[in-house]
Amino acid sequence: MKILLAVLVIFSLGSCVEIIDDLSIKSDGSGTFKYTINLSSSKVKINSILALDSLDGKKVPSIAEIQEKVKFYKEKLGKKEGITNVKLEANYTEFIFKFQCDFTNIQILQKSIKEIIREENADWVNKDSDHNWLVWDGNKLTRTIPKLPATAQERIKKEDTEALQKGSYISITRFDRPVERFENTQAQMSANKMAVMIKTNPYSLSQNTELLENTIYLSGIKK
């Protein structure tokens, strides 16, 4: 996990990154989680970084090391109870990564991710490690995001800010019945009222994680 975290920090800073976080929830709490990271517009810079031994005092992992860790965590998550159909597409030429899994309920998804973090990264356990970023009661979904540590924000250099501002972070939440209303004024509802989207950029999100926070209320009638 440390290698994967290092990859994210090294490759995202100074790179134009596009991220899509796509969550589908059924009325019974089961669903599908998809996460896509697209760094294709920065592949020249990424290849130059991969040619280095270290960057800003951090070891730059090789493609082989990244592939090994990605496979390890995919298999580890797939063994968690309540998590099925774990898929990962990794394109190391264009640097596009697509993750997907099904879950029996929101609590299982969060519990599984937390367990992997704790098992592999004891030093990452902190006061936010028990934070439930998604709470579902069958009619309402509440999403809250822990604030990033100040040290993480400080890693962003001035010259990297513009690149991160040009990137995009899209969060989509889909349901099996219509949405009645939501609280985040920056969110948008789909034409069929079955999904809510929030769009921002990686830099703004790094400075204010509350941009993704939302409470979504659903209709009592399943469509």
Q: Which has the minimum average pLDDT: 24-28, 54-58, 133-137?
A: 54-58
Closest CA to 207 of 155, 163, 170, 142: 155
Between helix 63-78 and helix 106-120 the angle, nearest 10°, is 130
pLDDT band (50, 70, 90) for residue 35: very high
Mean pLDDT of 128-133: 69
Q: If you ran DSSP here, which 8-state letter would residue 29 be given?
A: S
Task: Answer whether residue 4 shows pLDDT above 80.
Answer: no
Mean pLDDT of 203-210: 83
Say what the pTM is: 0.84
d(CA 118, CA 116): 5
d(CA 47, CA 32): 32
Mean pLDDT of 141-148: 82
Residue 76 dihedral angles phi and psi, to the nearest 5°: -65, -45
d(CA 211, CA 200): 8
d(CA 82, CA 122): 24
